Amino acid sequence: MRTLPVAVLISGGGTNLQALIDACKPADYPAEIKIVISNRADAGGLSRAKEAGIATAVVDHKEFENREGFEDAVQRELEAANVELVCLAGFMRLLSGDFVNQWKDRMINVHPSLLPSFKGLHTHERAIENGVRFAGCTVHYVRAEMDDGPIILQAAVPIDADETPDSLAAKVLTYEHQIYPEALRLIANRLTRVRGHRVIIDHMSVPKSGLINPVPE
């Protein structure tokens, strides 16, 4: 079985990277991580990749005069690894439209909110402050605009009355670790099609039931 060659871009500890590494271990999983690239030499995810026997590279953005030079260096690493899909996993650098467009429909990201709500940082604090009843996470194809692009999968979690940003982040992260490998599996099995701003997933039905929170008395 042919496996999809993948690169993962990180900046930090790499818990979502670890979820992808674990998912790729079974022989029947349709994707393989060829390289992990970090813009920080001290990113904990690099150790996770090395322990799994995955090639790593550090492209320190501080060593370049501009974003174009940084992105050119990242592109060279991706081309050398012959990857066909890029997964952003806690990669904390904004990418230019030119770079993103080179990888249109071949770059995905996981974001800790139910997009298009709460783009950017501090998603959990903002969700609690705004009194929303559900938070969650989203895996989406990347577009030039920040945290934008066709949505592949989402998971929703209820926000408790005594929720804190830390407790909500922990709950949401659990689901990030589930839907990111599943989204990668769907793409690698060629079950996703981008139509406009929507992702059509073959052989997957959308549940017709809904949730109401709080439950009416």
Domains in the chain, CATH or no CATH each: 1-103 (3.40.50.170), 109-205 (3.40.50.170)
- pTM higher than 0.85, yes or no? yes
**Annotation says 111 is catalytic:** yes
Task: Give the integer Cα–Cα distance in Å for 130 and 122.
Answer: 12
Q: What share of the chain is helix, strand, coil (3-state, %, to 5)?
A: 35, 25, 40
Q: Would you say residue 94 has pLDDT above 90?
A: yes
Of 4, 9, 7, the residue nearest 186 (C-alpha): 4
Q: Are 43 and 12 in contact (CB under 8 A)?
A: yes
Task: Give the integer Cα–Cα distance in Å for 149 and 198.
Answer: 9
Hey, how many other C-beta atoms are within 10 angstroms of the C-beta on 130? 9
CA distances from 128 to 146, 158, 170, 207, 210 (A): 22, 11, 14, 27, 22
Distance in angstroms between the alpha carbons of the first and the last residue of the chain:
53
Q: Would you say residue 103 has pLDDT above 70?
A: yes
Q: Which residues of 43-74 are buried (b: 16+ CB within 10 A; e: fewer)?
A: bbbbebbeebebebbebebeeeeeeeebbebb
Q: Would you say residue 81 has pLDDT above 70?
A: yes
Q: Which amino acid is at 161?
A: A
pLDDT of residue 212: 65
Q: Would you say residue 215 has pLDDT above 60?
A: no
Mean pLDDT of the chain: 95
pLDDT of residue 204: 75
Which position among 111, 124, 140, 177 bears the catalytic label? 111
pLDDT of residue 18: 98
pLDDT of residue 2: 83
**What are the pLDDT digits (tens) for 23-34?**
999 999 999 999
pLDDT of residue 172: 97
